[in-house]
Structure 1
């Protein structure tokens, strides 16, 4: 078994190999590995006595689970109604052009993964985005560039 498979099996064991813990197991696997590799799906399925299809269905249904490694930084832009009404589409267009990556993609240099989310709970400060878990509000193109420049320059140090 691969090292990733061993780690996935250990995560399942920590959750008592309980099928009702599947979502928590997947979150923990992603936390440890950075994503949920296709190769660990049968390992998880066997450990918790579910079919591969059931585990695969959960991984592909929820947008929080990555099936490929993320970039060094994860940028989430809210696409919900409040953010859309506050010029969120312009922010999305600018982010995609600036990063040269679409939603669900990682920049060519592997530095940034861009993700669409459907509410960050920051509606009063729309449009909102999150970078590496840090929430930002009232983001326009200029503020996006400032945040990204700061994020990428900190990483270079």
Structure 2
């Protein structure tokens, strides 16, 4: 993940990524995933590059980026904590979990702590409905999240 490139270098790297994926059927999503893997987010400045290379409007690219919750428009923290907000998790207390996490971290959804340690993101299903409420920290999933589990998760962030 390279978040410190100059705008011209970022545009050129984005063109390379588009060319690597352009041959795929429906290449926009794989391109956006590759861009985010490269830069840590989908920079506003690369949307016109992607649009131009794929013969799409900038609005079409922007619409896809904003439709899918997985894509970020700014760099994430060193750790990403995702809390499931889907119905099964809500019915098992995810609102209480979310309130507690926001209190512990001092941030809201789509925000990053001031020290850049953690970004808090909502997700709308982690596939652990039978173990609700669910969370994910840096790709590791946790089920039946409660106050004790939250302490462990937040402790992991501090390491």
Please give the range of the TM-score, normalised by the shorter of the 2 chains. Answer: over 0.9
Structure 1: tracts of 5 or more residues without a match: none
Give the alignment's TM-score, normalised by structure 2. 0.91
Hey, what does 2:34 align to over in structure 1? 28
Pick the aligned partner of 2:44 from 35, 38, 45.
38
Pick the aligned partner of 1:76 from 72, 79, 82.
82
Pick the aligned partner of 1:91 from 97, 100, 108.
97
Query: Does residue 123 in structure 1 map to residue 95 in structure 2?
Result: no
**Contact kept? 2:110, 2:121, Cα under 8 Å:** yes
Q: CA deviation at 1:62?
A: 1.2
- Matches of 2:43 and 2:23, distance apart in 1: 19
Once the two structures are superposed, residues 81-140 of structure 1 have per-residue CA deviations (whole angstroms, 9 ceiling, x without a partner) of 111111111100001111111011111111100001111000111110000000011111
Hey, what does 1:15 align to over in structure 2? 21
Provide the secondary structure at the position in 1 that maps to 2:73.
coil
- Matches of 1:99 and 1:76, distance apart in 2: 13
**Aligned-CA RMSD value:** 1.4
Hey, what does 2:53 align to over in structure 1? 47
Hey, what does 1:58 align to over in structure 2? 64
- Matches of 2:138 and 2:14, distance apart in 1: 24
**Contact kept? 1:77, 1:130, Cα under 8 Å:** yes
Query: Does residue 139 in structure 1 map to residue 145 in structure 2?
Result: yes
Structure 2: tracts of 5 or more residues without a match: 1-6
- Matches of 2:149 and 2:36, distance apart in 1: 30
Question: Aligned in 2, Cα 1:22/1:61: closer, same or farther, shift over 3 Å?
Answer: same
**Contact kept? 1:19, 1:48, Cα under 8 Å:** no
How many residues in Structure 1 have an aligned counterpart in Structure 2? 153
Provide the secondary structure at the position in 1 that maps to 2:107.
coil
Give the alignment's TM-score, normalised by structure 1. 0.93
